[in-house]
Structure 1
Amino acid sequence: MSASQEGKGGNLVLYAALAANMGIAVAKFVAAGITGSSAMLTEGFHSVVDSANQVLLLYGRKRSEQPADDLHPLGYGRELYFWSFVVAILIFAVGAGFSVYEGVLHISEPEEMRDPTINYVVLAVSLALEGSSWFVARREFVAAQGDLSWWQAVRRSKDPTTFIVLFEDSAAIVGLLLAGFGVAISHATGDARWDGVASIAIGVVLGLVAIVLARESKDLLIGERANPALIAAVRASVDGRSEVVRVVKVTTVHLAPEIVFLGMDVDFDDTVAVGRVEALIAEVETDLRRDWPVLAAIYIKPVSS
């Protein structure tokens, strides 16, 4: 999949999730206001947070596409990773925090639940919308997954938008099921505290998801190496030149999902004239950029092994 295709796929995932969450949030708040359900109110704020997250990820993706300038000579690619980390913090602080707070408040001061029929209708519609968003995110994730397990794919992914939305949607579906459980048990037993328990459970789920996303976003923000297969291919390409004794060291860092910094320490044959080494480095850089357009910044240093 090309960089442009992955970018379009990532945007499609975000727009699909944003549209679903905005509609769901309105429906949940209406249901919570009519029935007095704590779990539904929690789910409403959950959808608001998710909507804000998609806006931030779209903003981060747009900012990351800015060209390099004097202030940022390697470009703005890591803006996407920064906003992905902010999203993880928002899920934890706002989503999980509010859910637990609302649950504890509803347990200590239970509010009698009124007719829950509208809750069930909203939950069913929300599951359908979240499911459609989840399907889009899952399709894009599988396209990039290849032969890797899902966890390996998450760990190796350099584009956080797809797996963040996939995790968000998965957490949302689990939250909807928990909310439905809380509403049903509260209605069946006449004990509204079960609704609060469901809110706390939703908060725990969001907190766990936020921790995983924060960890992955942190690693990308600090800087992760390129795919080992790419590193091996680049090394072999340069090693194969007759003027090169060996490639001593290869350093790569992802600056964005499709922007990689490459640094190489290369031992050139001592019989190669100094002037020729300069021209040879330029030739190597041109060939590498042609064969791997992802290599946006290349620095080759002649060394003696």
Structure 2
Amino acid sequence: MSESNSKTVILAALTGNFLVAVSKFVASFITGSTAMMAEGIHSVIDTGNQALLLYGMRRAKKPPDAKYPFGYGKEIYFWSFMVAVLLFTIGAGVSIYEGVEKVMHPHPIDHPYINYGVLGLAILFEGTSWLIAAREFRRVKGGWGVLEAVRRGKDPNKFLVLFEDTAAIGGLLLAAAGLALVQSTGLEVFDGIASIGIGCLLAFSSVWLAVETKGLLIGESANRYVVQQIENIVGRHPSVDRVNEVPTMHIGPEYVLANISLRFKSDLSGEQLQNAIADMDRRIKQECPTVKRVFIEAEYEADTPPSHADEADTHKTIGH
């Protein structure tokens, strides 16, 4: 998903959630439905989440500086993690609290058909946003399955909006079911149970999102096929005797840092060594476009520190 497509998906979700939030709060005020109140809170949180994602995308584009020499790409992971925190603390917490309060102190719902009308409009808005997000997600996931695409994906925007919209539609269906049960049984307690269910759905969503973004936030490696490409490029280079290790880290969705440990052939001169490193750096960046920075270390053994006598000759680092 390109940045422009990601922004389109987020803007569509933000607009839809804002309109839905306003309508839900109006309906809750008129009818007294706790489930509708919980859904309104859900939509407000979702609207704030999309705003945070847009802010994170803008911050991630800042160029490197003296304080952050590798740039600000990880900001998008931080704000995605904050989305998960807000969903859990505010969205899930308030929804469950309001639901428990309604179960303990039930009160009748007035004008229930207003709620049904608002829920219908909300499903229309959320469904439109979901279709836009799903179309882009299908385009970028390729031949991977849904769970595999999420697990391997390095850009949370590619799946976060889709997952949020899926949870939102699930919450709307729970709210509609709660209202229907209240009408059919005359027991207002089902409105509170629906609110608790919405809170539990939000809690599950937030934990899942936090798990998916945690690895990226602390420094997740590139996908295995990218690491394999780098290993193949340096491994077949005529100057390399052995590839020791290729640790990588995502600085941003499209920014990979690679720190490569190699054992070079012993008969290379200093100039030949420098030319070989420059050539490998060029090839890696050509064949792996997401790899933006390459550091190549000349080490006899990756896991064994060189002796003091050999240290000057066997351990050299060049970054590009």
Q: TM-score, normalised by structure 1?
A: 0.96
- SS of 1:264's equivalent? strand
Structure 1 moving runs of 4+ over 3 Å: none
- Amino acid paired to 1:75: G
Q: Is the 8 A contact 2:88 2:203 kept in 1?
A: yes
Alignment map for 1:14-29 (pairs within 5 Å) = 14-29=10-25
| Aligned-pair identity (%) | 43
Aligned partner of 1:66 in structure 2 is 62
Aligned partner of 1:303 in structure 2 is 299
- Output the CA distance in 1 between the equivalents of 2:261 and 2:94: 52
Aligned partner of 2:234 in structure 1 is 238
TM-superposed deviation, 1:257: 0.6
Give deviations 1:202-227, integer Å, cap 9, x for gaps: 10111111111011111111111111
Aligned partner of 1:104 in structure 2 is 100
Q: Is the 8 A contact 1:244 1:269 kept in 2?
A: yes
TM-superposed deviation, 1:33: 0.9
- Output the CA distance in 1 between the equivalents of 2:119 and 2:126: 10
- SS of 1:265's equivalent? strand
- Amino acid paired to 2:96: V
Q: Is the 8 A contact 2:31 2:115 kept in 1?
A: yes
- SS of 1:301's equivalent? strand
Alignment coverage as a number of residue pairs: 301
- Output the CA distance in 2 between the equivalents of 1:275 and 1:241: 16
TM-superposed deviation, 1:62: 1.0
Aligned partner of 2:28 in structure 1 is 32
- Output the CA distance in 2 between the equivalents of 1:66 and 1:118: 46
TM-superposed deviation, 1:246: 2.2
- Output the CA distance in 2 between the equivalents of 1:134 and 1:189: 33
Aligned partner of 1:269 in structure 2 is 265
Q: Is the 8 A contact 1:13 1:162 kept in 2?
A: no
Q: Is the 8 A contact 1:113 1:187 kept in 2?
A: no
Which runs of 5 or more residues in structure 2 are unaligned?
A: 302-320
- Output the CA distance in 1 between the equivalents of 2:164 and 2:185: 31
TM-superposed deviation, 1:37: 0.7
Larger Rg over CA atoms: 2
Aligned partner of 1:146 in structure 2 is 142
TM-superposed deviation, 1:293: 2.6
Aligned partner of 1:250 in structure 2 is 246
Which runs of 5 or more residues in structure 1 are unaligned?
A: none
- Output the CA distance in 2 between the equivalents of 1:126 and 1:71: 45
Aligned partner of 1:128 in structure 2 is 124
Aligned partner of 1:52 in structure 2 is 48
- Output the CA distance in 2 between the equivalents of 1:110 and 1:174: 23
Provide the alpha-carbon RMSD of the alignment: 1.2
- Amino acid paired to 1:96: A
Aligned partner of 1:278 in structure 2 is 274
Aligned partner of 1:163 in structure 2 is 159
Instruction: Tell which deviates more after alignment, 195-204 or 266-275.
Output: 266-275
- Output the CA distance in 1 between the equivalents of 2:290 and 2:149: 19
- SS of 1:28's equivalent? helix
TM-superposed deviation, 1:256: 0.8
Give deviations 1:213-269, integer Å, cap 9, x for gaps: 011111111111111111111111112221111221101111111000001011111
Q: Is the 8 A contact 2:229 2:288 kept in 1?
A: no
Of residues 168, 171, 193, the one that matches 1:197 is 193
Give deviations 1:83-103, integer Å, cap 9, x for gaps: 111100000011100100110
